[in-house]
């Protein structure tokens, strides 16, 4: 039996945090177009479910067992267990919901809101990070990127993110357990999410707090990222942001189909040829969005059978510029933090 834990509350007073100040600073002429991304947190495949997949996991009563998903992170075997959120329906019964694409988009909106000094709080003493928001603030962010959701959809996504339980393991060792949004509280109202303009707060996972504390995050173009239509294209874009740091006219970046399949968990079709076509289409989406200049594909065969494929991509001028800015932002943070620590 699990011990009942007391819900934490956000700090009531402003906390001076040089780390948070640096998290909210960017190297760009357009601060609205950029945000920060944390590779270790982004690598956890939290949002691979489609509504159809989730429906298949539900019982006739609408409930569902936790779902275990193996994946790899930089070659390391990991497992993610997702215990779905149970939400009360209008008929009084409960229904299980797994995080999916709407929760993915809402998380990105909240992390963008976190970069605003009025709504982000980082407590270095406890390594905790809180974001304050209203449902309308989230809706406004999503609308900017053409990912409009109704207030009721956003409300449900917030509930799913706060009530789903994720357990991350490496082999048999449990590394972390928690919700995407922890200790969700209403700041300006006693009733939970009754007013769409009420200010709420949630504690973000330790991965994000640790990254802010240790400057382990990367600036990226959130506007370009969230205007991409498919989850796979957005996943690939984040991967390029974190791993194609040397993007230039002469430096390309290559990766295997098998690696994308193992890490993203977004290529789950039974026919591998169709999965490879899906990956190629996602890369084409990145090219059409101005992130890539050229794409090359080389199939790896055993006899006549295609067993894998190598994808080589070349950065566009815009993406090269964005990566240079991200590299400079990282350098500036390190130098500024050394100065502030003296």
Mean pLDDT of 75-82: 95
With b meaning 16 or more CB within 10 Å and e meaning fewer, what string describes 112-129? bbbbeeebbbbbbeeebb
Band of the pLDDT at 87, cuts 50, 70, 90? Answer: very high
Q: What is the pLDDT of residue 3?
A: 44
- Note the pLDDT tens digit of each residue in 235-262: 999 999 999 999 999 999 999 999 999 9
Q: What is the pLDDT of residue 2?
A: 39
Query: ∠ at Cα 142 (224, 101), nearest 5°?
Result: 85
Cα(266)–Cα(104) distance, rounded to whole angstroms? Answer: 14
Q: What is the pLDDT of residue 116?
A: 95
Please give the domain boundaries of the chain with CATH numbers for all domains. 25-227 (no CATH), 231-318 (1.10.10.10)
H-helix or E-strand spanning residue 218 = strand 218-221
Place of tokens 């006899």: 303
Q: Flag whether pLDDT at 169 surpasses 50.
A: yes
Counting Cα atoms < 13 Å in the Cβ hemisphere of 145 gives 24
Give the strands of the sheet with 182-186, arranged side by side. Answer: 120-123, 128-133, 200-203, 182-186
Cβ-in-10-Å burial (0-12, 13-18, 19+) of 230 comes to: middle
Task: From 183, 186, 167, select the one nearest 175 (Cα to Cα).
Answer: 167
Q: Flag whether pLDDT at 211 surpasses 50.
A: yes
Task: From 203, 234, 218, 269, select the one nearest 45 (Cα to Cα).
Answer: 234
Mean pLDDT of 66-78: 94
- Note the pLDDT tens digit of each residue in 97-139: 999 999 999 999 999 999 998 999 999 999 999 999 999 999 9
Q: What is the pLDDT of residue 188?
A: 73
Q: List Cβ neighbours of 299 (8 Å cut-off, separation of 6 or more).
A: 306, 308, 309
Q: How many CB atoms lie within 10 A of CB 161?
A: 23
């Amino acid at each position: 039996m699990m011990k009942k834990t007391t819900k934490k509350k956000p700090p009531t007073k402003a906390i001076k945090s040089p780390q948070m100040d640096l998290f909210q600073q960017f190297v760009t002429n357009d601060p609205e177009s950029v945000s920060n991304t944390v590779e270790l947190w982004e690598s956890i495949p939290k949002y691979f479910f489609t509504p159809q997949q989730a429906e298949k996991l539900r019982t006739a009563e609408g409930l569902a067992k936790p779902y275990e998903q193996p994946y790899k992170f930089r070659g390391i075997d990991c497992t993610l267990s997702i215990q779905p959120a149970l939400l009360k329906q209008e008929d009084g019964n409960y229904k299980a919901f797994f995080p999916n694409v709407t929760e993915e988009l809402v998380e990105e909106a909240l992390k963008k809101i976190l970069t605003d000094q009025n709504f982000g709080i980082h407590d270095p003493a406890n390594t905790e990070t809180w974001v304050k928001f209203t449902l309308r603030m989230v809706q406004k962010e999503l609308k900017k990127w053409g990912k409009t959701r109704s207030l009721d959809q956003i409300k449900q996504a917030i509930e799913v993110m706060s009530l789903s339980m994720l357990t991350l393991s490496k082999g048999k060792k449990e590394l972390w357990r928690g919700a995407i949004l922890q200790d969700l509280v209403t700041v300006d109202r006693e009733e939970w999410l009754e007013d769409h303009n009420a200010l709420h707060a949630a504690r973000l996972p330790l991965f994000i707090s640790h990254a802010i504390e240790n400057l382990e995050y990367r600036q990226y173009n959130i506007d370009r990222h969230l205007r991409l239509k498919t989850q796979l294209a957005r996943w690939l874009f984040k991967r390029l942001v974190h791993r194609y740091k040397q993007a230039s006219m002469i430096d390309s970046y290559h990766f295997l189909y098998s690696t994308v399949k193992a890490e993203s968990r977004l290529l789950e079709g039974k026919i591998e040829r169709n999965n490879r076509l899906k990956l190629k289409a996602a890369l084409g989406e990145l090219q059409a969005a101005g992130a890539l200049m050229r794409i090359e594909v080389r199939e790896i065969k055993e006899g006549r059978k295609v067993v894998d494929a190598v994808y080589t991509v070349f950065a566009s001028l815009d993406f090269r510029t964005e990566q240079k800015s991200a590299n400079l932002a990282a350098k500036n943070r390190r130098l500024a933090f050394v100065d502030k620590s003296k």
